[in-house]
Each structure stands twice: as structure tokens, then as C-alpha cells.
């Protein structure tokens, strides 16, 4: 038995969709969630800069005494996962490998689509991971810079979002993909729009569900689970405005958020020093 919490981080709120799935799969665990809202979005930033932010945050979480870190941000995973695994002493999981694995299992025609941020598409990591499992599978990638601002905006389910999804989906439909990786932790929020645009015949792969499964398996195999039957606690931290995080965060977590504490960027930078 290991009572230490699990650390989860994202550039902002998107990782709360991963926390949501972890809370359902592993309700007995404690969690520390850190959203780097002051530096959101990561998607349009250079990979080197995203890597620096991720190293700071993961180091900070390790100093808080977590037993495992989840990089619940596709851009951060794409930019930094190998570095995080080298630097930290606790296990670090990202959100790309579980999705790539699920997509390879799901596809029947071996044509896989990817919708993600600029940084994630530019990293080329999904194609590498898919090809490590099936060298013959084809990956068609589309960067979707408009989706995160729309999902975080006032009208995430409005016509503008639907039009953007239709435009981003067109090259994937033309390529005949039967499986689409939603390579950004914000996208589960607009799942109904995505499923309507692609239709029932296309399998959508979301990182949240796949990652929660991997977290559960990792804790069990390493023998570091908390006691079953208890109800875990969540601590929420943000570099941005705590009240905005609390309000908007509920949209992503779909559960109440009682309290959010602010963490100074300087405290994160100190953790990486």
C-alpha cells in the first residue's frame, strides 16, 4: 500500500479530463493536479520551451511527494516525456503511447487520423509510436490551432466550433481513415460534435480513458496502490487565477472543485534548478 498522491499536470484545464477518468477508475487514490494556466496555450509554442515548462512542473510535483506523474497534456508529452523520465525518480506516464496503442488495436483499414495542436503534430511522435507497433499503418495528421481557444471560449458547443471541426475533419475523411486519435486533452469536451462530424463508423480515441487505464495498470504492477475502499482527495493548483480555474475547471472535470491554490511560476522554476 502506498498513500502518496498521484501528480497530474497540464497547460491548463484539459488535463482535468484525464483526472476525471482517473477518479472513476481509481477513486481511492489522492491526486495533486497542476494547471499551468498562466502560460497556456502550450500548443503554439516551440517544443524546447514546452519541454522547459514540463521539466519545471514535474520536478515541482515530485518535490510535493507524488508517487507517479502523469503528463496530461499531449503537447507536453510530445515535447518532454523522455526527458521527464530521465530526470525524475518516480514513474512518469504520458498521454500519447496509450492512444497510439488503442488506435492500432482499433483500426481495421490501418489508416489512422490525428487531430492535435501544432506542437504535437510538429513533434511527429504519434507517427513514431504508431509505426513502432505497426510499421504498415498510415497516420494522417491535422493541426487544429482554433479548437483550444474555441473550447475555452464562451460558446464551446456553438456553430463556430462545429464549422472548425468540419474543416479539420475534411482531409481525414478524404484519406479514408477509420480511426481518429484526438490528440489533445481539451477535445473530450466536444466529443458529441466530433462524433457527429465523423459518424459512427469512425472510432474516436481519447487520451483520458486510455491513460487512466495505464495509470491503474502501472500502480497495480508496481505495487504502489492506495488502500481500496477509501475515497481519495484532490488538491488543485494553478499558476493562473484560482477563481477562473475553479469556474472553468468544472466544465472539464464535470465534478465539483472546492478550492484552488495559486503556485508562483518562480516556485516551478526553482524546482527545475
List residues binding ligand DGL (CB under 6 A).
10-12, 14, 40-43, 73-75, 117, 120, 148, 184-186
Residue nearest to ligand DGL (CB): 43
d(CA 150, CA 153): 5
234 given a catalytic annotation: no
Q: Which of 249, 226, 222 is nearest to 238 (CA)?
A: 249
73 given a catalytic annotation: yes
Which residue's CB is nearer to ligand DGL, number 14 or number 240?
14
Q: How many CB atoms lie within 10 A of CB 147?
A: 26
> Which residue pairs from 38-42 have beta carbons closer than 8 angstroms and sit at least 24 positions apart in sequence?
38/238, 38/239, 38/240, 38/265, 39/11, 39/239, 39/265, 40/11, 40/12, 40/240, 41/11, 41/12, 41/117, 41/148, 41/149, 42/11, 42/73, 42/75, 42/76, 42/79, 42/117, 42/119
- Can you read off the three cell numbers belonging to residue 116? 492535435
In the complex, what is the shortest distance from the CB of residue 15 to ligand DGL, in angstroms, rounded to a whole number? 6
Which residue's CB is nearer to ligand DGL, number 185 or number 203?
185
In the complex, what is the shortest distance from the CB of residue 250 to ligand DGL, in angstroms, rounded to a whole number? 17
d(CA 9, CA 35): 6
Which residue's CB is nearer to ligand DGL, number 17 or number 179?
17
How many residues appear in the chain?
273
Per annotation, catalytic residue among 22, 144, 184, 234: 184
In the complex, what is the shortest distance from the CB of residue 176 to ligand DGL, in angstroms, rounded to a whole number? 26
Which residue's CB is nearer to ligand DGL, number 148 or number 257?
148
d(CA 137, CA 111): 6
Largest Cα separation within the chain, whole Å, is: 50
Which residue's CB is nearer to ligand DGL, number 59 or number 188?
188
Which residue's CB is nearer to ligand DGL, number 11 or number 161?
11
Asked if 95 and 185 count as a contact pair (C-beta separation under 8 A), the reply is yes
In the complex, what is the shortest distance from the CB of residue 201 to ligand DGL, in angstroms, rounded to a whole number? 26
Per annotation, catalytic residue among 22, 73, 144, 234: 73
- Can you read off the three cell numbers belonging to residue 15? 488535463
In the complex, what is the shortest distance from the CB of residue 72 to ligand DGL, in angstroms, rounded to a whole number? 8
Asked if 30 and 5 count as a contact pair (C-beta separation under 8 A), the reply is yes
In the complex, what is the shortest distance from the CB of residue 119 to ligand DGL, in angstroms, rounded to a whole number? 7
Residues annotated as catalytic (active site), given as ranges: 73, 184
Amino acid at each position: 500500500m502506498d498513500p502518496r498522491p498521484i501528480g497530474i499536470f497540464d497547460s491548463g484545464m484539459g488535463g482535468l479530463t484525464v483526472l476525471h477518468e482517473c477518479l472513476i477508475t481509481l477513486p481511492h487514490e489522492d491526486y495533486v493536479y497542476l494547471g499551468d494556466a498562466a502560460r497556456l496555450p502550450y500548443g503554439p509554442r516551440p517544443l524546447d520551451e514546452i519541454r522547459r515548462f514540463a521539466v519545471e512542473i514535474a520536478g515541482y510535483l515530485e518535490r510535493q511527494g507524488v508517487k507517479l506523474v502523469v503528463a496530461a497534456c499531449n503537447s507536453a508529452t510530445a515535447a518532454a516525456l523522455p526527458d521527464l523520465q530521465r530526470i525524475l525518480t518516480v514513474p512518469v506516464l504520458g498521454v500519447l503511447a496509450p492512444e497510439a496503442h488503442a488506435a492500432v488495436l482499433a483500426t481495421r483499414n490501418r489508416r489512422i487520423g490525428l487531430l492535435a495542436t501544432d506542437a504535437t503534430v510538429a513533434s511527429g511522435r504519434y507517427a513514431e509510436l504508431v509505426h513502432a507497433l505497426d510499421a504498415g499503418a498510415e497516420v494522417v495528421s491535422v493541426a487544429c490551432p482554433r479548437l483550444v481557444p474555441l473550447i475555452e471560449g464562451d460558446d464551446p458547443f456553438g456553430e463556430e466550433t462545429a464549422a472548425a471541426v468540419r474543416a479539420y475533419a475534411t482531409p481525414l475523411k478524404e484519406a479514408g481513415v477509420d480511426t481518429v486519435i484526438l490528440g489533445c486533452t481539451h477535445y473530450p469536451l466536444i466529443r458529441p460534435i466530433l462524433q457527429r462530424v465523423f459518424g459512427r463508423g469512425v472510432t474516436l480515441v481519447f487520451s483520458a480513458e486510455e491513460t487512466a487505464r495505464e495509470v491503474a495498470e502501472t500502480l497495480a504492477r508496481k505495487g504502489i496502490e492506495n488502500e481500496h475502499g477509501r475515497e481519495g482527495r484532490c488538491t488543485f493548483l494553478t499558476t493562473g487565477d484560482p477563481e477562473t480555474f475553479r469556474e472553468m475547471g468544472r466544465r472539464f472535470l464535470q465534478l465539483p472543485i472546492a478550492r484552488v491554490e495559486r503556485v508562483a511560476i518562480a516556485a516551478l522554476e526553482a524546482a527545475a534548478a
